């Protein structure tokens, strides 16, 4: 399936901004199962592009600045990707036992280092919470294959927590989200990642886009018209799993297939924020408007995911 994504961010300031520096994670990943066909980033007023590079997690980044006064900033990212199925041959029951996997990742002096360990540690948006360990335990009886446990945990989060727009902010603590049993896709991803990490299992936060039907249409997935977030769980050696990570979308209770475009990977939202920066000026009143449109270029189906 070939998809086109347009992601537009507009800041309007209460007073002119005299200097601005920004970091963008807006270029989709490019690999064997997600081919980046084109990408273009437009800024108005024109930005002075300082550097395009790759961060420590392998994500494409763009740093840009504006040194002339401006009272608005528009950033429009336009991308086209071709997606291939990744998990059609997956065998979750043949994944390694979760407790054996977690034990093998524990620190041992002079032992081999597995880079996935960094994703089993707490991070700024995903602290260690004992309530998450207790919640996860029901899905992970001793010896259970890690992917069976992770899929069950995803299904429970989807059932037990309500997707409610504007119920949280970017900085709402994860403990508060868990207590109120409601949040948005970012919160669902942080909860799943935090619960897995409390058991010593690596989990990566994924930012990206979701192909959906128009809002309100029958079968429409949650997360339309905005950037989306989900999780990857570590399961090396699993038959039918390309690489070592399986994507899980707890907001929609899905194993993604052809409806999810991966933008960036990190420990949590803070590592892969689509656009962030610092400004001088701007006054006290800022407004932010974000719009995302994802469509199938080749006229394919508007929903293409695997129900878990």
Closest CA to 227 of 292, 288, 287, 164: 292
Q: What local confidence, expressed as pLDDT, does residue 221 receive?
A: 57
Pairing of strands 254-256, 286-296: unpaired
Is residue 170 over pLDDT 90?
A: no
pLDDT in tens, 269-296: 999 999 999 999 998 888 999 999 998 8
CA-CA distance, 143 to 114, in Å (whole number)?
21
Residue pair 230/207 in contact (Cβ under 8 Å)? The answer is no
Is residue 233 over pLDDT 50?
A: yes
Structural domains of the chain, with CATH: 2-83+272-298 (2.60.40.2250), 92-269 (3.10.620.30)
CA-CA distance, 235 to 107, in Å (whole number)?
18
Q: What local confidence, expressed as pLDDT, does residue 159 receive?
A: 97
CA-CA distance, 209 to 73, in Å (whole number)?
22
CA-CA distance, 260 to 28, in Å (whole number)?
11
Is residue 142 over pLDDT 60?
A: yes
Q: From the centroid of its chain, how far is CA 189?
A: 7
C-alpha dihedral, 95 to 121 to 153 to 213, nearest 10°: -100
CA-CA distance, 114 to 218, in Å (whole number)?
44
Q: Strand, coil or helix: what is 119?
A: helix
Q: Is the pTM of this model over 0.75?
A: yes
């Amino acid at each position: 399936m070939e998809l086109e994504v347009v992601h537009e961010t507009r800041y309007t300031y209460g007073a002119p901004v005299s200097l601005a520096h920004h970091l963008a994670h807006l270029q989709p990943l490019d690999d064997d199962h997600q081919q980046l066909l084109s990408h273009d980033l437009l800024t108005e007023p024109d930005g002075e592009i300082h550097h395009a590079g790759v961060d420590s997690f392998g994500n494409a980044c763009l740093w840009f600045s504006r040194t002339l006064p401006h009272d608005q900033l528009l950033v429009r990212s336009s991308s086209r990707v071709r997606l291939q199925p990744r998990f059609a041959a997956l065998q979750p029951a043949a994944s390694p036992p979760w407790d054996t996997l977690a034990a093998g990742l524990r620190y041992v002096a002079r032992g081999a280092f597995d880079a996935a360990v960094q994703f089993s540690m707490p991070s700024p948006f995903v602290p260690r919470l004992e309530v998450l360990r207790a919640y996860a335990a029901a899905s992970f009886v001793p010896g259970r294959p890690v992917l069976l446990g992770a899929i069950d945990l995803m299904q429970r989060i989807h059932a037990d927590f309500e997707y409610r727009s504007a119920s949280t902010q970017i900085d709402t603590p994860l403990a508060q989200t868990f207590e109120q049993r409601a949040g948005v896709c970012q919160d669902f991803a942080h909860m799943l990642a935090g619960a897995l990490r409390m058991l010593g299992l690596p989990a990566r936060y994924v930012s990206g886009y979701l192909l959906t039907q128009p809002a309100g249409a029958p079968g429409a997935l949650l997360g339309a018209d905005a950037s989306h977030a989900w999780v990857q769980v570590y399961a090396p050696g699993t038959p039918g799993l390309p690489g070592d990570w399986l994507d899980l979308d707890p907001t929609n209770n899905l194993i993604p297939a052809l409806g999810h475009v991966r933008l960036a990977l990190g420990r949590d939202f803070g590592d892969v924020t689509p656009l962030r920066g610092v400004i001088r000026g701007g006054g006290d009143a800022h407004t932010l408007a974000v719009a995302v449109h994802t469509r199938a270029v080749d006229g394919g189906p508007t929903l293409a995911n695997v129900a878990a």
